Structure 1
Amino acid sequence: IFFRPTMSGSWLRLSVFLAVLLSAQALVHAKWDLCTPGSHGILNLTAIEFGAPNPSRGVPWTMTVKGHLNASKPITNGKTKTEVWWGWFKVQSKTGLYCKENKCPVYPGPVVQSAAANLPLITPPGTYQVKTTSWNEDGELISCVKVAFSL
């Protein structure tokens, strides 16, 4: 059987083009989600607001996290693991102190915290996903969040 260009072949190319275009448009604005939908840690996240739709190289990109800490005591210590993916490639993985990345103590009840990140000027264009998982000093999951954005 030989392939003959037909109108259906044109429709196939058009469909593929539209699918690529729509998937590229899906990340015009950064988006966030829980690592496991519906599964909160002791911090019930209600929103992550971005200072700009997507980050720019060399410019601080602010994020404001809002939620409610459901704990019997404040968070005064803990760990945070951050993994950065560029497409299918993991380009960074680091573990640090929770209170170095966040303002501590974090008291039970409503929580609003802001942070800023700078992308180096040499950061290549593409789609990125950042997964951040945090635990308190007792090993309880604080939160696990994925943020996706494009450059």
Structure 2
Amino acid sequence: MNGSNEVEALYRQLLTAWNDRNARGMAELFAEEGELIGFDGSQAIGPDDIFSHLDPIFRDHPTARFVSKVKTVRPLGSEAAMLRAIAGMVPRGQSDLNPAANAHQTLVVAKNAGDWRIRLFQNTPAQFHGRPELVERMTAELRSLLS
């Protein structure tokens, strides 16, 4: 498996853990100094802090599930890479995306003892202020993945 495939597989593991509401599973994918920056701007650093941040969210809220499309995976040398994706969210109990939750996602990973680990995962709102056609275009692209 080449690095690009491994990086994309790690990203899919991250989103699967979110969709399964598995805080421990998400946290374990991060390096010791790995950072998570959430949709609301909240930040958690390191697996323990990330777990402590996510666990009450999953316990107390019916989190929506991610639908995503990887746009690029770029090497940053032989031991690191950056993945960029677009993502949308389908609220629990519903079958369509909530366009207000569309996001750009950035994942920076590096090898640690031969295994890829997340150094940064940032989930940035894609609200495109004043440009509703861009929200519609992103939503349509993500919606095509729902079937």
What TM-score, normalized to structure 2?
Answer: 0.30
Larger Rg: 1
Larger fraction in helix: 2
Higher relative contact order (CA 8 A, sep 6+): 1
What TM-score do you get using the length of structure 1 for normalisation?
0.29
Q: Of Structure 1 and Structure 2, which has the larger fraction of its residues in strand?
A: 1
